Amino acid sequence: MYYRLIIPGQKKSFWQRALLRTILLFLLLTGYLWLAEYLGSFIVNYTQQLWLEGLLALYMYALGYLVLRPSRLRSYLAVVPLLLFYLISDIFYLAFGKVFRLVNLNELPELFDILPLSYSLPLAILLLLPIALLSMHIMWWPHRHALLAAAPLLLVILLILYSTPSGIVQMITGAGSVPVKYSEAKSVENNGRLTTMLYRVALRLKALDDLAPYRNRTKYEQYINTQLQTLLPLPDKRNVHIIVLESFLAPRLFSKLGFSTSPVHPSFETLFGKHLGLSLSPVFGGATAQAEFEVLCGVPALEHLSSVEFNVFSGSAALCLPGQLEKLGYHSSASNTYKPDFFNAKSAYRGAGFSAIYFPKEFSPAVESYLEFGEPGVEEYIFDKELFDQNLGHVEKHLREHPEKTLFNYLLTIYGHLPHILDLHKRPEIINLRTSYPDDHLSRATNQFYYRTEAIADYVNSLTSLDPESLIILISDHVPPLRNGPNTYKALAYLDGIENAYYYNRIAVIDRGQPKIWPLIHHYDIPALVLNSLSEGGYCQVQGCSFTGSGHSSSEEEKLNAYLRLMANASE
């Protein structure tokens, strides 16, 4: 009775039943994969590498079957963990445009914390209901067959934990899995979801081993000091303001989208006109901390150690841009509009080099702060103008009380976050979209954009009046997932449908009151852009900056070394 896997009650031999159920299992998975392709997830492309994925799927099913109590539902319940894993992977890809990794489970608390109840409750039910159902049928005192079936899994876990990680990576690639370095989605297409996840676990452990040679604080300090030599003394020491804007979507970048009236407020249009650039974010739809990491630390967010680099920061000096400016005599101030424990922000900011860190008083009552979250009401998040007014007061106070101390003012907003709720009494919907493509989130985000551009224009005008010689950078962390994830961006031809268009974000640079446009850059170019502006171009002449169009472009190996060097010291 322990071998009735899918069709109970049939009088067949064990091997006949096993063969039939294996065929049915793969037919079920094939049907699911074609459905996922239709919905916009990974492309079904059967190659010779997928045999390992097939074995892993079959093993997961057999293991699930053998740990469940005998019952009529046993054959069907055994498929649930496998389908749940595939479903979570594809929902994650559809929503965020990137491949699910095991370490992404660490992000669940933050996700449930920031999502409104109307979103978090269905998600919790989707995850917990199958788990609860399976728990009711698990054989908690395992039969010998279940223990025997679990032996290979335990062996793999022990190998990953106690073997050389490089050996595990080689073992997976040697078994036929061929990861595609330039595209994780292509890796999943070629090798399967389970195989790619296992490979990424091993790769993460290998990266942890790779940190060891870089853990030398003296050498790291010397490395940073050498980079800053071109800035000592600074020929033009002036205040710097960086504002990271939550989900700041520019609707006019959709080629196939029309509007009843302009989605840009006239004051914003007057201020910037066509002087708006584009920057490539490491993320789409979420994980703001990844965009922050690149903007502040100047290296790509490679996710080799965690799905969110900030989660690895211990508070140890990573000497990112805030720390480097502190070395140059600046006062570095970070203002985060949300909770101190969100994406390990407090330790991450300390490690990045901020000497002053502010969170809203409501979320951090024991620490002195100028920020107040207030009562956003139906919109749930503090509106940009209310936040900007508080930050202007903070800047004005610093300039008045400490005129001798140059300021680095970093501000992270939160308004515009999913699901883009509008308080219609304060901010009525005045822009109608002209499109047959249904996406209610896009409609609300477009109207939010109109009011946000007004708030930004007022803020920048006030800031330049208060601090006319300053450097101001406004940059979107990522574009929002909207209702249908990447599909909306593809259907409406965002940036004319170029490849990975939904990673491109608006950036505005105001240098001494004048908008300045750069060629396409990455978020991780921001620290170099700041240091180059402060040194009147001297920094990039020595260090080389690809965004200037004439500098040295770092190789992938150089970027990896810079990443490992920084993460080794950030995680001490």
Q: What would the two tokens of residue 221 be?
A: 């300090």
Q: Is 536 helix (H, G, I), strand (E, B) or coil?
A: coil
User: Average of pLDDT values for 471-486?
Assistant: 92
pLDDT higher at 181 or 273: 273
Q: Residue 434, exposed/middle/buried by CB under 10 A (0-12, 13-18, 19+)? A: exposed
Please check whether the domain covering 235-570 is classified as CATH 3.40.720.10.
Answer: yes
Looking up tokens 């109608």 gives 432
Q: Is 510 helix (H, G, I), strand (E, B) or coil?
A: strand
Q: Give the residue among 335, 343, 510 at the shortest CA–CA distance from 411.
A: 335
- Residue ranges, comma separated, of all CATH 3.40.720.10 domains in the chain are 235-570
Angle between helices 144-162 and 50-66 (to 10 degrees): 130
Query: Whole-angstrom Cα distance, residue 334 to residue 344?
Result: 14
In eight-state DSSP terms, residue 496 is G
pLDDT in tens, 231-248: 777 666 899 999 999 999
Q: What would the two tokens of residue 411 be?
A: 């501000």
Lowest mean pLDDT among 109-123, 208-222, 453-467: 109-123
Q: What is the pTM of this model?
A: 0.72
User: Average of pLDDT values for 167-190?
Assistant: 61
pLDDT in tens, 346-378: 888 999 999 999 999 888 777 789 999 988 888
* β-strand pairing of 504-511 with 471-476: antiparallel
Task: Tell me the pLDDT band of 95, cut-offs 50, 70 and 90.
Answer: low
In eight-state DSSP terms, residue 429 is -
CB atoms within 10 A of CB 151: 9
pLDDT higher at 22 or 570: 570
pLDDT higher at 48 or 113: 113
pLDDT in tens, 400-434: 999 889 999 999 999 998 888 899 999 999 999 99
Q: Give the residue among 319, 391, 315 at the shortest CA–CA distance from 346.
A: 315
Top-ranked range on mean pLDDT: pick from 142-151, 152-161, 393-402: 393-402
Q: Give the residue among 326, 462, 458, 324 at the shortest CA–CA distance from 394.
A: 462
Task: Tell me the pLDDT band of 459, cut-offs 50, 70 and 90.
Answer: very high
pLDDT higher at 399 or 134: 399
Q: What would the two tokens of residue 130 be?
A: 């199958």
3-state helix/strand/coil string of 72-90 = CCHHHHCCHHHHHHHHHHH
